[in-house]
């Protein structure tokens, strides 16, 4: 597994845990804080896309969509800012969808471990089952109390983030062991022949060997 991809997944897991902690510690202000962070991130990302589009030559921009992406980010940031209440009400559903999607990725990890012939592939299956149930509960929101919803969302994000960290570290370790075993098996199947084991007759021309045989018969 590539280090950059693994690092991205680790960062996502840490962010999920921190977000869950904010939900639990500051239940009344957590969604407003997160919406503000989202607005800032969308604006900054959109600005980067805009600047990148205008400082790049037209020839290089033919197959890039930096302008469109930047414009979309600005519109979305404006919607989140001016329609904060609507967005805040949608955050639990958005988080529920995110957890469900992450559960599908964990299920794929379980299948990968099964293909690697790991005896503990079912660990990932159990984790995927737990997180998908949490995501479904979060999406449909059976709670009548807003504080209970935020508390459950915080617990879900912490559990999901912790499982993500466990998954990526465990799967990376298994893949490393698997790749090492392949290399070792390859080395065993294709041994290196040393110079001392080579047949010296291979270096003697055929004509020379025939002459030597003729001389021995004459004698």
What is the per-residue pLDDT across 59-83, written as a single tens digit (0 to 9) for each?
Answer: 765 667 788 989 999 999 999 889 8
Residue 206 placed within a domain: no
- The string over 43-72, giving b where at least 16 C-beta atoms fall within 10 Å of a residue's C-beta and e elsewhere, is bebbeebbeebeeeeeeeeeeeebeebbee
What is the structure's pLDDT at 119?
85
The answer to the question of residue 203 being in a domain is no
Query: How many domains does the structure of the chain reveal?
Result: 1
Domain assignment of residue 68, yes or no: yes
pTM: 0.67
Distance, in Å, from the CA atom of 30 to the CA atom of 8, rounded to the nearest integer, reads: 24
Domain that holds residue 134: 3-189
pLDDT score recorded for residue 67: 85
CA torsion through residues 31, 32, 35, 36, sign: negative
Residue 76: what pLDDT? Answer: 92
Structural domain contains residue 216:
no
For residue 125, being part of any structural domain is answered with yes
Whole-number pLDDT of residue 175: 77
Distance between CA 19 and CA 144 in Å, rounded? Answer: 22
pLDDT of residue 187: 56
Give the residue ranges of the chain where pLDDT is below 50. Answer: 189-205, 208-209, 211-212, 214-219
**Does residue 211 sit within a domain?**
no
182 located within any domain: yes
- Is residue 212 a part of any domain in this protein? no
């Amino acid at each position: 597994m590539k280090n950059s991809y693994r690092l991205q997944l680790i960062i996502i897991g840490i962010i999920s845990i921190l977000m869950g902690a904010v939900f639990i510690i500051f239940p009344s202000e957590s969604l407003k804080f997160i919406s503000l962070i989202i607005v800032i991130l969308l604006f900054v990302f959109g600005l980067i896309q805009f600047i990148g589009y205008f400082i790049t030559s037209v020839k290089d921009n033919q197959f890039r969509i930096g302008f469109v992406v930047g414009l979309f980010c600005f519109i979305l940031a404006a919607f989140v800012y001016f329609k904060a209440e609507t967005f805040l009400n949608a955050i639990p559903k958005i988080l529920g969808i995110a957890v469900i999607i992450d559960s599908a990725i964990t299920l794929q990890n379980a299948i990968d471990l099964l293909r690697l012939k790991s005896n503990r592939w079912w660990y990932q299956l159990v984790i995927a089952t737990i997180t998908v149930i949490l995501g479904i509960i979060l999406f449909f929101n059976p709670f009548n109390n807003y504080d209970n919803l935020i508390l459950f969302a915080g617990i879900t994000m912490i559990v999901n983030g912790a499982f993500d960290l466990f998954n990526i570290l465990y799967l990376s370790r298994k893949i490393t062991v698997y790749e090492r075993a392949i290399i070792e098996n390859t080395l065993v199947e294709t041994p290196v022949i040393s110079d001392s084991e080579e047949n010296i007759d291979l270096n003697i021309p055929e004509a020379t060997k025939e002459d030597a045989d003729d001389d021995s018969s004459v004698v």
